[in-house]
Structure 1
């Protein structure tokens, strides 16, 4: 496990999976080969395999110990899920809870779960199976903070046409924590404690959010899927293939990165491998990495 401390908040990274996922331009389709090649020094080997032209990413959870409480940021894919359109997510079986235990976290220790948005790879360990078709909250004492806009988009009661996988993730990873009375559906802004506050950052999904940390004069921002690759620093108008409102996603990306540069926030994306977090600076209309996070080991 790798940890870093900012002010009074300890941050531990728990990686569910890391590796090459798919073609780079399938993940960030608007960034041409010339952009990847021009930024090869930044991208390879942690974020891009030039020879195979594959995007490298990570599926991970961030454990924050803040104000005497344990907070999880995003919960990965989960085990035993029906995700037929995404083979990598389908019927997985990993030891994620064992990895959490290695980080000193038992399910009953978790006080708050943050889902930055409701995509399948951010909500999976919200629940665990207790029998065929039966899902219960993994963290029995936790409050689950769920963006209201994403909940409304995925709730079958809304009458929308939803993908099979989206119906499944709502039923196995979202609805059970709502039925258990453990969910808070928030919008706009939600303060967790003196050091942590959630803010709406729509575009990737209607309810996408960022979690800002400020403690002891040090700052960070957990940006979820605002970024999938450092190539989006060089070309911040380029969205991932998963962004639902491209124009809004690009505007939000520029706004959040600009503020991070101005306020010296450590940027923590959901899917970056390698060091996993970085300081950012402005370069005209673009952004660049000033330095990568330094972990204790």
Structure 2
């Protein structure tokens, strides 16, 4: 599904624009979140369907999307999707993918040359793909004026020094070579670890487990708070049970610990939770309930015609 209108929210002085490239049923629910039981999906069908779950096929619905932040006079992208024309033999759905990512950005009023900062929350293929473009002439940074913020732990793990993720997946080598290495060669990358402040409103923090360098981006402006959590969450059922990892988490224990920590803080500080792949409105409040968590209100956007 392509974004047909501009979906935006204001957090103090920061505008957040959602750019959706694709949204549909992706994988069997308990393939995506293996530890989740059938009962949690069925008992929450009234709000999981149709935006997060397709009951008839028992498939989880996910979105492929990027968040555009306008903060302090600069334009910041949070993750860059799959990228067009990539060799991804291990991911048939996205092998030689052709999407309208740049068209979606244009409809949101963003040209490649306008982007000042690109945040890769982690190095997975659906988060770094549009870092680069131009396969025919050789991959080059899509955003010529941008600084690319890349988690150092992921760069090591997925890069040549660690033999492309210990050589477990051929796709990891391809992803690094076409979507990360060209940014390094262009001198546009910044590796960071622990925490990295982008500006007075935006701070990156490590939240390892999904990958070694998985990170979240915290937004604080005025009294408003939000946290972009990348792949810390793939489905809302993981809010109900933070011990449930996705099938893509490399370190289950660390991923669950990071998830619980970020949810605890979001509930305490009233941060709007903005995961990378939630369908529907894509962002939700979280609150404590008993010894765990429950979902609050979903995000409400101001919309403008495309």
Q: Same fold (TM over 0.5)?
A: yes
Partner of 2:102: 97
Partner of 1:52: 57
Kindly provide the CA deviation profile for residues 238-262 of structure 1, in whole angstroms up to 9, marking residues without a partner as x. Answer: 0000000001101111100010000
The answer as to whether partners of 2:78 and 2:118 remain within 8 angstroms in 1 is yes
Local SS of the residue matching 1:178: helix
Cα drift, residue 130 of structure 1: 4.5
Kindly provide the CA deviation profile for residues 73-92 of structure 1, in whole angstroms up to 9, marking residues without a partner as x. Answer: 00000000000111111101
Kindly provide the CA deviation profile for residues 16-65 of structure 1, in whole angstroms up to 9, marking residues without a partner as x. Answer: 11111111111001001112112222311110011110100001000000
Cα drift, residue 69 of structure 1: 0.1
Partner of 2:71: 66
Cα drift, residue 158 of structure 1: 2.8
Local SS of the residue matching 2:171: helix
The separation in 2 between residues aligned to 1:35 and 1:190, in whole angstroms, is 37
Local SS of the residue matching 1:194: coil
Structure 1 stretches of 5 or more lacking a match? none
Partner of 1:214: 220
The separation in 2 between residues aligned to 1:265 and 1:174, in whole angstroms, is 30
The separation in 1 between residues aligned to 2:222 and 2:180, in whole angstroms, is 34
Q: Aligned pair 1:14/2:26, yes or no?
A: no
Structure 2 stretches of 5 or more lacking a match? 1-5
> Which of 235, 244, 267 does residue 241 from structure 2 map onto?
235
Counterparts in 2 of 1:70-149, with a 5 A limit? 70-131=75-136, 134-149=138-153
The separation in 1 between residues aligned to 2:207 and 2:221, in whole angstroms, is 21
Q: Aligned pair 1:33/2:38, yes or no?
A: yes
Q: Report the number of matched residues.
A: 296
Q: Aligned pair 1:153/2:157, yes or no?
A: yes
TM-score (normalised: structure 2): 0.95
Q: Which runs of 4+ in 1 moved over 6 A?
A: none
Local SS of the residue matching 1:131: coil
TM-score (normalised: structure 1): 0.98
Q: Aligned pair 1:3/2:8, yes or no?
A: yes
The separation in 1 between residues aligned to 2:10 and 2:168, in whole angstroms, is 41
Counterparts in 2 of 1:140-289, with a 5 A limit? 140-159=144-163, 160-289=166-295
Larger mean CA deviation between 89-98 and 119-128 belongs to 89-98
Local SS of the residue matching 2:238: helix
The separation in 1 between residues aligned to 2:203 and 2:209, in whole angstroms, is 19
Cα drift, residue 111 of structure 1: 0.1
The answer as to whether partners of 1:149 and 1:206 remain within 8 angstroms in 2 is yes
